[in-house]
Amino acid sequence: MLDNKFGSWGDQGDGTYINPVLNADYPDSDIEQVGDTYYMITSKQHMSPGMPILASKDMVNWSNVGFGFNRLSWAPEYNWDRMNGYSFGVWAGDLAYNDGTWYIYQIDYNHGLMVTTAKDIAGPWSEPKILLDTTHVMDDPAVYWDKDSHKAYVIVNAGVKPENLDEESPVNTNVIYEMSWDGLSILDQGKEVYSGIGAEAAKIYKFNGYWYIFIAEWTIGDSSTGLGVKNAKNDRKQVVLRSSDSIYGPYEKKVVLQKGSNFGGRSASQGALLQAPDESWWYMHQLVQNDDDPFQGRVQCLEPVNWIDDWPIIGIDENGDGIGEPVKRYRKPINGFPVQAPLSDDDFSTDTLGPQWEWNHDPRDSHWSLTDNPGHLRLKASKLVPNGDGYGPKTNQWTNSNGASSDFWRACNTLSQRIMGTSHGVAEAKIKLQGMKPHQVAGLVRFGGVFNLMGIKVSESGVHNLFFMNTKGEEVEGDVVDSEHIYIRTTNNGNCAFFEYSLDGKVYKYFGPQFEIAFGNWTGDRLGFFTWNDVEENGYIDVESFTYDYDGPKS
């Protein structure tokens, strides 16, 4: 167990917090306050269940609630027998509450704008309904119910107009549609309200006689964000549009947040505006992936908001240019609540899977169980999906190298959770091996932009050997393991990681090379379990326990 109770980020136990408050891959957040609780959704592409939901009483400490999509049921490519939805699925969404109903809106780039509803934030959530197809939308919806006019609206990034597709810095068009009051249908053809370079992730607010649209833009060609451009395409700024006339404008525009000195080259944008009980304002946002090693993924930071002449300035203006920059350490918005964090450890003692876990695509439910051997997660080996069109990832669609045809990406029922932080982490699992059969492989994996895994490989004659595989599918085979169980441990110091194993849980030996973990295609590194069989549907492992210690707050 790591010594520091609080760690180098999150709640510090003294009335302050250190950003990021959620130092893990929780991207594209939206937050809705109901009563004294703040609820957050974040995207996670093809991971299933989809759209994680978290809750907080103080904006700093977050715990698991559940998921908005039990399965990615609207398209066959997300199923275990296709594994062909890499990078797509659940993108940035909007969480809303109106007249006793919860709503989650999101746009699947390949299928359109959809909505799911629930009476309880914990679910059950309805089967998603498609409201607009991909000819009208690209990503990032946000909704607003106007109590004054009794009208409901949704804004979407409609993408780049066809006549502008060849532009070096393409302009995204943002369109507002009127919705029915129940939020389940679109009533008009939409009206364009704003276009900007890479403009996306809009959120609508209304107060003090103004309509506000918060929107993220690329900084290409913009000299006003004078702190430098590290990656021209992915460098972002947060802007606010303001109108006293109508939700349709005309709008004034102001840059209110840019990257500062605290997070290297990582841009700060895309998030949600919040208010504390003392009427102070705050903003939760992600750090974008435009840095050398954001290997934990896109994290969540909390910023104070100061209103100047009815404009929100997010963070602290470091250089006196009237634009905010993100803070590193600051006072908590609300005191009196204990340190909390999303779940990590698991002894698999319940008959339902913990909310820290997500499958790589929708799982094959006949091939996993928490009840076949109570107190264990049983994973049964399947054959790989075919290595051909319509199956698995396309080359470079998901991986950072030409490892897209590697077996791992075509193996169903890989179960994983996020890493936390970037300084140091140690994860350990105890795995029982009695059920393994010839041609089966199984063990512990780290994967994100790349994968590296370690475990047991069973020969045709039934011999159990240690093995390691890297992201290109290259293998290292090790000693024979003549044991009914194995402990596998993986450690990362910064982005350098390695595996160890033990037969007694006390004495560990290194196995396989050191390797670098990496962000890739909008996801950070993850820790998980895998198994497959190269020849037949046969064999299983039982995972008895999983523990994960890291440099940060832990429940």
Domain boundaries, the chain: 16-331, 358-550
Query: Is 338:61 a contact under the CB 8 Å cutoff?
Result: yes
pLDDT tens, residue by residue, 24-36: 999 999 999 999 9
Q: How far apart are the C-alpha atoms of 157 and 192, rounded to whole Å?
A: 10
pLDDT average, residue stretch 447-461: 96
Mean pLDDT of 529-533: 98
Per-residue pLDDT, 3: 45
The sign of the CA dihedral 406, 407, 412, 417 is negative
Q: Read off the pLDDT band of 43 (50, 70, 90).
A: very high
In the numeric block, which tokens belong to residue 422?
A: 């970037």
Strand-pairing partners, residue 521, are none
Cβ neighbours of 331 (radius 10 Å)? 12
What kind of fold does domain 358-550 have according to CATH? Answer: Jelly Rolls (2.60.120)
The string of pLDDT tens digits covering residues 269-286 is 899 999 999 999 999 999
Q: What is the mean pLDDT of residues 335-350?
A: 97
pTM for the model: 0.96
Written as six digits, the tokens of 164 are 């502008």
* Domain 358-550 in the same topology as domain 16-331: no
Q: Which residue has the tokens 């919040």?
A: 274
Mean local confidence (pLDDT), 425-451: 97
Element housing 303 (H / E): strand 300-308
Q: What is the pLDDT of residue 243?
A: 98
Least Cα distance to 198 among 227, 179, 226, 225 occurs for: 225
Q: With beta carbons less than 8 A apart as the criterion, state whether 370 and 379 touch.
A: no
User: What is the average per-residue pLDDT within 525-539?
Assistant: 98
The H or E element that residue 500 is part of is: strand 496-502
The verdict on domain 16-331 having CATH code 2.115.10.20 is yes
Beta strands at 210-218 and 63-69: parallel, antiparallel or unpaired: unpaired
What 8-state DSSP symbol labels residue 293? -
Q: Which residue has the tokens 């700093």?
A: 60
pLDDT tens-digit map of 145-179: 999 999 999 999 999 877 666 666 678 999 999 99
Q: Which amino acid is at 263?
A: F
Mean pLDDT, rounded, for 469-494: 96
Band of pLDDT at residue 4, cut at 50, 70 and 90: low
